[in-house]
Amino acid sequence: MKIGSLYTVKKYYWLLFPTRETACDVNEVTAKAGTDLVVADNWIEYLSKFYQTNITYLSPESVIVFLEEDGELKKVLTSDGKIGWTFFIETYNVYFEEINGEYKFDRS
């Protein structure tokens, strides 16, 4: 994955943590919230209450750009303006696809 390139999420819901510290405190296994929005929402609700912060997610078809990398963490900007950190290891490459060419953001 290249920092600064646009990607689309192909599969799974991915937890997006507001800070690097919160992301580091959560086990890597919980980064991939699953294929079902209900499961993702349950994880987000639980973790947000536990850490007393606002945890969100990346969903399939989301458009993102990786801004920064710190080991197994990447800072992400989403097309709807969310910024946060998610776990990302090399085996996750298959769940993201680089967008080549021009992308038009939906501003509706």
Question: What residue segments make up the domains of the chain, in order of their start?
Answer: 6-98
How many CA atoms lie less than 13 Å away from 91 in the CB half-sphere? 4
Q: Which of 4, 6, 60, 8 is nearest to 32 (CA)?
A: 60
pTM of the model: 0.78
Kindly state the average pLDDT of the residues 59-72: 91
Residue 88 binned pLDDT confidence (cut-offs 50, 70, 90): confident
Q: What is the pLDDT of residues 25-58, one digit of tens each?
A: 776 555 555 556 666 778 788 888 988 999 888 8
Chain center to CA of 103: 19
Q: Which of 102, 97, 67 is nearest to 82 (CA)?
A: 67
